[in-house]
Amino acid sequence: MKVLHLSNVLDINNGGGVYEVVVNLYHAQKKKNLDVNICYPGNCNTHPSFVSDNDVERMQTIGNPNLGLIINKLSSKLNSSRYEIIHQHGIWLPNSLVTLKYAKKGIITFIQPHGFLERFSFNISKYKKRFAFLLYEKDNIEFSKALIACSEKEAIRLKNIFPQKPVAIIPNGVSNEFYKGYNNKRPNSVYPNKKIMLFVSQIYPLKGLERFFKVISEVEKQLLNNWVIVIAGYGQDEYINFLEILIKKLRIDHFIYFVGPKYNKDKIYLLDSADFFVFPTHNENFGIVVAEALAHELPVLTTTGTPWQELNTYQCGYQVQNTSSGLKSGLIKMLSLSDSQRKTMGHSGRGLINEKYLWEIIVDKTLSLYSWGMGQISKPDFVLK
């Protein structure tokens, strides 16, 4: 089976969850001996971590990769390689035109929106997206074999928009290497005698930091006496400056630290040095950072804007109402726990990841989906008709 992952981005800084999914799924499918390739729009400033991989092709773009790509460069590669499956990641960009072109020629296509059809996300530049939807994205989705959602929450949203289109529910996850990279609790050498409340993600308004900082300012100071809040992630300078001004106004800047993006070993070290993970997002179709934190035995506080109800059922954190009062209540509960109680929560979370959210487990669902698309097996039970 020859598979092409056509991604709208492959940049470790700007790619967020899409980058993590494409890279990890690609490697997991390679281990299953699939003939897998990746194509993505990019320019000379884009440097994926596996830039020397011959099965990963950068499509040269004109100017900003978001504004256009040279489709003909990909066309000859597709025709000569005779892909059986195109798995598209993300929507709204011109790579959708590539998928649509080859779907019309009979190549089986699956489209994974990665949350770009969630209401909060759709309302950003909504008029441009409505235009793109009418111009090409509606046809692209209609010609696809199925949509791929990474949670039941996202699947419900997709079925509401496209009731006649099959939707496969395939969760995201973490790699076995990342899971095994856990090194128990590391000593906190950067903030001695302090406990660490950790946030790791892209930094922009959707992630809820502005709301969270206001909540922090309302919590009794004695609960926060021994804590620091570490904010790790990439964001636009203008927005980070806005947040830094905000925490000064709220008089909480003395224990909040912006440390920039952290990747690979630096990210693992940060996770293993923390005491719990906070993800105050307004809306997520999945939230890979939650899975990563759980894999490294961190209890997690997040909102119902994510699909992580299992934090409550597996007793490995708190999923609270997606409001300021919900966050405040959950934060007070998490801060009031003893170290041993948080450790027990973290241990339960690591067990959850081992049971359900390793890519080495999840990849089999993608193989079943592709086989169904090619008519080789009956419809899998995770595909909603």
Share of the chain above pLDDT 90, in %: 73
Share of the chain above pLDDT 70, in %: 90
Same CATH topology for 2-173+358-384 and 177-356?
yes
What's the CA gap between 68 and 221, in Å, rounded?
A: 51
Residues 317-325 have a mean pLDDT of: 98
Half-sphere exposure of 374 (CA within 13 A, CB side): 14
| pLDDT above 70 for 177 | yes
pLDDT at residue 80 in the model: 58
Residues 212-230 have a mean pLDDT of: 96
| pLDDT above 60 for 200 | yes
Residue owning tokens 């926060």: 224
| Residue 196 structure tokens | 């660490």
What's the CA gap between 206 and 305, in Å, rounded?
A: 10
pLDDT in tens, 4-33: 999 887 776 666 788 889 999 999 999 999
Check: pTM over 0.85? Answer yes or no. Answer: yes
**Is 135 in a helix, a strand, or coil?**
helix
Residue 254 — pLDDT band, cuts 50, 70, 90? very high
Residue 51 — pLDDT band, cuts 50, 70, 90? low
pLDDT at residue 121 in the model: 80
Q: Which amino acid is located at 129 in the chain?
A: K
Confirm if 57 and 21 have CB atoms less than 8 A apart: no
Residue 64 — pLDDT band, cuts 50, 70, 90? low
Biggest CA–CA distance in the chain, Å, is 66
What's the CA gap between 98 and 69, in Å, rounded?
A: 10
What's the CA gap between 228 and 238, in Å, rounded?
A: 23
The mean of the pLDDT values for the chain is 90
Can you give the length of the chain in residues? 385
Q: Where are the alpha helices (DSSP H) in the chain?
A: 16-31, 71-81, 95-103, 119-122, 126-132, 138-143, 152-161, 176-180, 209-218, 237-249, 264-273, 288-295, 310-313, 324-336, 339-356, 359-373
Beta pairing partners, 235: 203
**Domain range list for the chain:** 2-173+358-384, 177-356
Residues 175-203 have a mean pLDDT of: 86
pLDDT in tens, 66-98: 554 555 555 556 665 679 999 999 998 878 988
| pLDDT above 80 for 242 | yes
CATH code matching the domain that covers 2-173+358-384, chosen among 3.40.50.2000, 3.20.170.30, 3.40.50.11740, 3.40.50.300: 3.40.50.2000
What's the CA gap between 172 and 286, in Å, rounded?
A: 7
pLDDT in tens, 271-294: 999 999 999 999 999 999 999 999
What's the CA gap between 321 and 10, in Å, rounded?
A: 33
Confirm if 312 and 319 have CB atoms less than 8 A apart: yes
Q: Could you tell me which of 96, 108, 173, 159 has the C-alpha nearest to residue 371?
A: 108
pLDDT at residue 43 in the model: 56
What's the CA gap between 183 and 234, in Å, rounded?
A: 25
pLDDT at residue 49 in the model: 57
**Is 68 in a helix, a strand, or coil?**
coil
- The three-state DSSP-derived secondary structure of 210-268 is HHHHHHHHHCCHHHHCCEEEEEECCECHHHHHHHHHHHHHCCCHHHEEEEECCCHHHHH
Residue 50 — pLDDT band, cuts 50, 70, 90? low
Q: Could you tell me which of 302, 303, 301, 310 has the C-alpha nearest to residue 276?
A: 301
Confirm if 373 and 110 have CB atoms less than 8 A apart: yes
Fold of 177-356: Rossmann fold (3.40.50)
Q: Could you tell me which of 382, 312, 370, 353 has the C-alpha nearest to residue 150?
A: 382
Q: Concatenated DSSP letters for 101-125?
A: HHHTTT-EEEEE-TTTTSHHHHTTT
pLDDT at residue 237 in the model: 95
pLDDT at residue 77 in the model: 60
| pLDDT above 80 for 183 | no
